[in-house]
Amino acid sequence: MNQLRKSARLATSLMLAAICATSGASAGTLGQASPPPLVLSPNLTEPWILQLQPSGRLRERRPTVQRRMRDDARPYRTARTQNPAKVAPRQIDPRFLPTIVEYTGKHKPGTIIVDTVERYLYLVQRDGTARRYGVGVGKPGFEWAGTHKVTRKAEWPDWRPPAEMRKRRPDLPAHMAGGPQNPLGARALYLGSTLYRIHGSNQPWTIGHAVSSGCIRMRNEDVTDLYERVGVGTRVHVI
């Protein structure tokens, strides 16, 4: 602040000196050319004149800079996501997962029993228990019951839709090679001379429902396990 006052006084003194010098020259040198007026250098007067404010404070003049928000400095907005309930994969009802249950029925060990009402398949064991698996069964109009034997087993079976099915579904192929996309899944147990099979499925969420054209569906993991436990000639009761 003292420096500011000293500088202001200096500027005022110089201006007064210039006025006096000009007046004196005009009075004492009549008939002679007047000398040019004293002009103070702008770099001496301008900074102090411009910087003096009514408040008495010294303010620094800074160039105005227009700030632009960088793309990476913008507030982050999370992307809109789909409803988790819609994107979550469909799963089998846990009550249709494999388990061991007690068995006191009349069928011999090694027999397969399919309960189409409860949607369970049982494999009778020798220790008074049965291995129970969830299954999908025939939809309304395609229910059936009976006793047959396993006449053939196949891994990753080909699929040849019956003529009756292709008549109902003209979009079906005449033949589909075995594989993960094949509706018969990983394994198949063929029942007698019928068109029915116990087979896997690439739609595990259908287990526990009436969805097929009469075949007994299982998860691929479950039908593979059953496939290893039974052989050709195994008796199958569908009730």
Q: Which of 20, 107, 148, 199 is catalytic?
A: 199
Residue 148 annotated to the active site = no
Cα distance between residue 86 and residue 103, in whole Å: 40
Cα distance between residue 219 and residue 215, in whole Å: 13
Cα distance between residue 40 and residue 21, in whole Å: 14
Buried-exposed string 73-90: b where 16+ CB fall within 10 A, e elsewhere: eeeeeeeeeeeeeeeeee
Structure tokens at 178: 């075995």
Q: Determine contact, residues 156/197, Cβ cutoff 8 Å.
A: no
Residue 20 annotated to the active site = no
Burial label, 112 (beta-carbon count in 10 A; 0-12, 13-18, 19+)? buried
Q: Which of 20, 107, 215, 237 is catalytic?
A: 215
Cα distance between residue 74 and residue 86, in whole Å: 31
Q: What are the catalytic residues?
A: 199, 215
